[in-house]
Amino acid sequence: MQKLSFFLHVIDNISDWSGKLVSFLIVFMIGLISYEVVLRYIFNAPTIWSHETSLFLYGAYAILAGAYTLRHRWHVNMDIVYARLSQRQRAIVDLLTSALFFVFCIVLLWHGGQFALRSLQLLETTTTPWDPPLYPLKLTIPVAAFLLLLQGLAKFIRDLIIAITGKELL
């Protein structure tokens, strides 16, 4: 059990580290959007790249934050029913629904990986006037799917232990 606890702790640390790292994208977005607002409305000199860059940053932020969100149980639940269940019953419900979660993550990892690889092979760009590379953003899809799958595995193991023993793994 000690090795299992260590393994789960490593996964949690990866999710925490990646989530905190990704959170800094918001700081860059704020700076970028503020920069654009000043240029556009004060100096009447808008850029052609800031809007697209902020969309890329937000896209990466939104998808890469999934594992961190799962780690801290911030995803949406049907609390009307779920909150009334005991800890063991919630773990059992989570175990039953985990099959859908794992199918989703595996499909996202597989198809997202193919999608990103194809984009990288083509050195895909957006075809807008600025025309930045699109493949870095698409590469975040399989990375995020892998991180989410890893954190989902940790949650599954914890739920299994609670369902069997009725106690959380410390």
For the stretch 67-112, pLDDT in tens is: 999 999 998 877 888 889 999 999 999 999 999 999 999 999 999 9
For the stretch 33-49, pLDDT in tens is: 999 999 999 999 999 99
Helix, strand, or coil (residue 101)? helix
Query: What does pTM read for this prediction?
Result: 0.93
64 in a structural domain: yes
170 in a structural domain: no
Query: What's the domain range around 79?
Result: 2-165
Number of domains in the chain: 1
Helix, strand, or coil (residue 161)? helix
Q: How far apart are CA 87 and CA 36, in angstroms?
A: 49
Phi then psi for residue 68, to 5 deg, are -65, -40
38 in a structural domain: yes
Q: How far apart are CA 29 and CA 114, in angstroms?
A: 28
Between the two ends of the chain, the Cα-to-Cα distance in Å is: 9
- Give yes or no for a contact between 138 and 121, defined as CB atoms under 8 angstroms apart: no
